[in-house]
Amino acid sequence: MALWAIADLHLSLARPDRRERHAARWRDHAAKIETQWREAVGRDDLVLLPGDLSMARNHRDVQPDLAWIDRLPGTKVLSAGNHDAWWNGAEAIRPMLRRSMLAVGGDAVAIGGVVVCGTLGAPSPDPDSEPDPSKSAASDRELARLDEALEHAGRLRTAGEPLYVLWHYPPFDQHRRPGPCVGRFEDAGVTACVYGHIHIQGQWSMAVQGDVRGVRYHCVAADAIGFRPLRLDRPAVVSRR
């Protein structure tokens, strides 16, 4: 089993949304992803999808997008992103997921010799900005859900299996300062965190990648990785942070 990840599919098959209005590289992006996914991912592989899967607003409109994901090779583990308005909790969406899909949201699953946990996450706070009570409350909720996910993952790691965390937002801020999730990853012995969310090309080179204090970080926003799933179970590069 090989392990892959890709975030920010931004599918919209029920109500097509021309994403090239954001940048030309997004033209026909779903076709690009499908072609490269099929070239790379095998039937028995595992693919981690940390959020922004679909632009659908409800369970009805997300069905074509879920069917599209299901047709691709591999078993997929899904978590929410900030654009996944249709996602009203992992428990609520699990009954409608196809056979090849699992969901995590404040909890964890064990599959194929690895443990995967995750939640939507929250942007790293900017210490130079005025505090925003609503953003602080949302961050606190997501950190509590992360604690629950890591605790569940710890119970599933009966033989020290690798632990992967799906966290949609970059765990470090734009100045590469660690957010409050990072210490939690380190304390829990997380193997790697996969995230997405950033679509400005100038930000990709600043995104923290590779090994930092024993945890690997991978930015897997679809356009940042050329719309091709990124292989995770290979030696990581060392971060220059």
* Domain 3-231 class in CATH: alpha beta
Tell me the domain boundaries of the chain. 3-231
The model carries a pTM of 0.93
Phi, psi of 155 (to 5 degrees): -70, -30
CA atoms of 140 and 191, how far apart (whole Å): 23
Phi, psi of 128 (to 5 degrees): -90, -5
Each residue's pLDDT tens digit in the chain (241 positions)? 999 999 999 999 999 887 766 778 889 999 999 999 999 999 999 999 999 999 999 999 999 999 999 999 999 999 999 999 999 999 999 999 999 999 999 999 999 999 999 999 999 988 778 778 888 999 999 999 999 999 999 999 999 999 999 999 999 998 899 999 999 999 999 999 999 999 888 888 889 999 999 999 999 999 999 999 999 997 444 333 3
CA atoms of 184 and 181, how far apart (whole Å): 5
